[in-house]
Structure 1
Amino acid sequence: MVDPDELTDPGPVTADTADWTWVLARRCPDCGFDPDEVGPPALAQAIRDAGQRYAAVLGRPDVRRRPAAGVWSPLEYCCHVRDVCDLMRGRLEQILAGAGRGTVSFADWDQDAAAVRGRYWRSDPAVVGAELAGASRAAAAAFERPAAGQWDWPGLRSDGFGFTARTLGGYLRHELTHHLWDVRG
């Protein structure tokens, strides 16, 4: 085990300022995610499967190594995915709690600030593995809950982009797929 006090801060990563919502309308040329292949019946299992694949990534001996300056290490990506699972589960729970009576609003979330605040680079891979396993299981269970009509209930991100429970699930599935591609998982 690595002593966190002996780790050196690798510095900041290049901020991702892209608007990734386009993946809800067309195939991602990088990771191959296709929004037309995403549907509620398979979503929960896809989340569980991705969680297992990330566990294998966390077992790599080079899990802390950044592939290039300004790019997260596999460990940092796994921390991000853990947090995204929790975030999307929470947003889905907000939509369901709104009971379709109107559009719920999501609090802002800055992934880069979360990485700095959480000191992702300093995390223990075993701890992250347990947390990610729990977060992916909880997200999968949450995305099993909506009934047919609930998939179209709305939510609004702080930048004004509108989601439904269905597109929120698709967005999460892209995050899981794309970051596995990022870490060659």
Structure 2
Amino acid sequence: MSEQPFADDKDWTWVLNELCPECRYEVREFDVTTVGDLIRANAQEWIEIIAATDAAKLSSRPRPDRWSALEYACHVRDVLALYNYRLGLMLNEDGPHYPNWNQDETAIEKDYSASNAVEVAVDLKANAEALARHFGIVRDEDWERPGFRSDGAAFTIETFARYLMHDPEHHLHDVRQGLAALQ
């Protein structure tokens, strides 16, 4: 099991209202009906990074308080699966409350740092495709359907999609910075 470099206890929902100063990704600017295409494009960027980076560098942490590129890829893979599940709840239930998910516990339980990069890339792509297809069935009248995180944060399918897109985009930024620091 891997030790976690940090516990991320930030409430990132603020990205729905303002530009992220770290990654500069603006969730308010994209046409939400294109979220499936955005998910696929983001997954392709992850796959290209994994394929282009040697295993030692991929699994090296640039700093003790940051995940390696491989650990971030595992996290994104799991976020995509989680959001697919939560989207299903939002489409099939009225105002569902999502079960809690602790990303740090998941990273330890799944031993992200010991993962096989090829398997992670395959699973990340599959999870991205499944989620993109799921967003493809969202009808115009569904975008305002609500869902609630265990901490009480409220989303509509629209804000859920926007919030989702920040995560893998932000982590691409983290990974690019981390890999550059390992040069």
Q: TM-score, normalised by structure 1?
A: 0.90
2:144 equivalent to 1:152 = yes
Distance 1:52 1:163 in 2: 27
Return the offset for 1:10: 5.9
Distance 1:180 1:73 in 2: 11
2:65 equivalent to 1:77 = no
Q: Give the alignment partner of residue 36 of structure 1, picking from 22, 28, 31.
A: 28
The equivalences for 1:122-137 within 5 A come to: 122-137=114-129
Distance 1:67 1:13 in 2: 11
2:57 equivalent to 1:65 = no
| Contact residue 39 and residue 166 of structure 1 kept, 8 A | no
| Contact residue 2 and residue 111 of structure 2 kept, 8 A | no
The equivalences for 1:16-31 within 5 A come to: 16-31=8-23
Distance 1:74 1:88 in 2: 21
How many residue pairs get aligned? The number is 174
Distance 1:69 1:13 in 2: 6
Partner deviation per Cα, 1:119-173 (whole Å, 9 max, x = no partner)? 0000000010110010011111111111011000000100000011111111110
Q: Give the alignment partner of residue 50 of structure 1, picking from 38, 42, 53.
A: 42
SS at match of 1:36: coil
Distance 2:104 2:22 in 1: 21
- Give 1 or 2: higher helix fraction: 2
2:162 equivalent to 1:170 = yes
Q: Which runs of 5+ in 1 are unaligned?
A: 1-8
Amino acid at match of 1:166: E
Partner deviation per Cα, 1:84-121 (whole Å, 9 max, x = no partner)? 000111111100011xxx31110000000000000000
Distance 2:66 2:32 in 1: 32
Q: TM-score, normalised by structure 2?
A: 0.91
Q: Which runs of 5+ in 2 are unaligned?
A: 178-183
Distance 1:112 1:94 in 2: 23
